[in-house]
Amino acid sequence: MIDKTIGSAAEAVADIASGSTLVVGGFGLCGIPSVLIQAVLDSGADDLELVSNNAGVDDWGLGLLLGAGRVRRMVASYVGENKEFARQYLSGELEVELTPQGTLAERMRAGGAGIGAFFTRTGVGTQVAEGGLPWRYAADGSIAIASPVKQTQVLPTPDGPQEHVLEHAIHADVGLVRAWKGDRHGNLVYKDAARNFNPPAAMCGRVTIAEVEHLVEPGEIDPAEVHTPGVFVQRVVELTPDQAADKRIEKRTTRGAAPPVDPPRSTDSVREAR
């Protein structure tokens, strides 16, 4: 088997060209390949199309690429935590294809599974199917590019014939993902909620690059525990302890100290008080 480890994140992304389509794992800031994203930023690649559940926040994750003006188009399902994203979209600087979350995940998975398109009930009867969603605004606020009408078809279901909408698979030039553990052959294991969009993102990149917190030797991962088989991964970057520990959250919410509670008095104490 081929050792797929690369010496650095910069080396791993060095051949990403301007104009490329990148599919990126993670959900919010959970499980995002932050080191690889920074390396893409440092590489100078621009005019990028990004496919990810969201666009990070203003100062972390994919928000770094947005803030630097490196992104031409974004395919996502949620973008609410990024003010710069909203500004670019509403001013006509950024093209945005909003996609239902489950549909986005399945479009990624389909791209890796060799499925060209699929029918789903999600979006039927809405602008997702009927078209007209603003993909890009003009400078005057009018819609410069609108989503197209999608093919629909009535198909049998357990509840009888139902209308479905056709969605196409996603094929990206490069996939960027983050794993808790990986071996030199590219087999990956994700931890808890960080699994999120990473498995389907790893599947649909023609070249997939994984940053891993813990690099182990081939055979050390139980095959039954592998979430992404090495066949989908072409490059592996081992993170330093500091890089692996650098995990941020979108919002920190704390709760104040609870008011003190008087300890219960014994029955004897109550009698003495009387």
- What are phi and psi for residue 122, nearest 5 degrees? -65, 125
> To 5 degrees, how large is the angle CA 34–CA 39–CA 42?
130
Q: Which pLDDT belongs to residue 252?
A: 76
Structure tokens at 172: 């990206």
**Is residue 198 within 8 Å of 177, Cβ to Cβ?**
yes
Q: Which pLDDT belongs to residue 264?
A: 62
Reduced to 3 states (helix: H, G, I; strand: E, B; else coil), residue 171 is coil
CA dihedral over 41, 59, 78, 226, signed as positive or negative: positive
pLDDT digit string (tens) for the chain, length 274 residues = 699 999 999 999 999 999 999 999 999 899 999 999 999 999 999 999 999 999 989 989 999 999 999 999 999 998 888 899 999 999 999 999 999 999 999 999 999 999 999 999 999 999 999 999 999 999 899 999 999 999 999 999 999 999 999 999 999 999 999 999 999 999 999 999 999 999 999 999 999 999 999 999 999 999 999 999 999 999 999 999 999 999 888 777 888 777 777 766 655 544 444 4
> To 5 degrees, how large is the angle CA 75–CA 199–CA 208?
75
- For the chain, how far is it from start to end, CA to CA, in angstroms? 84
Q: Which pLDDT belongs to residue 274?
A: 47
Q: Which pLDDT belongs to residue 81?
A: 81
**Is residue 65 within 8 Å of 71, Cβ to Cβ?**
yes
Q: Supply the pTM of this predicted model.
A: 0.89
Structure tokens at 205: 């990149």
Q: Which pLDDT belongs to residue 161?
A: 98
Closest CA to 97 of 139, 66, 53: 53
Q: Which pLDDT belongs to residue 253?
A: 80
Q: Which pLDDT belongs to residue 267?
A: 54
Domain with residues 5-116+169-245, CATH architecture: 3-Layer(aba) Sandwich (3.40)
Q: Which pLDDT belongs to residue 75?
A: 98
Q: Which pLDDT belongs to residue 209?
A: 98
Q: Which pLDDT belongs to residue 127?
A: 96
Closest CA to 75 of 47, 54, 59, 56: 54
Q: Which pLDDT belongs to residue 53?
A: 95
Q: Where does residue 92 fall: left (phi above 0), alpha (psi -120 to 50 degrees), or beta otherwise?
A: left
Q: Which pLDDT belongs to residue 273?
A: 46
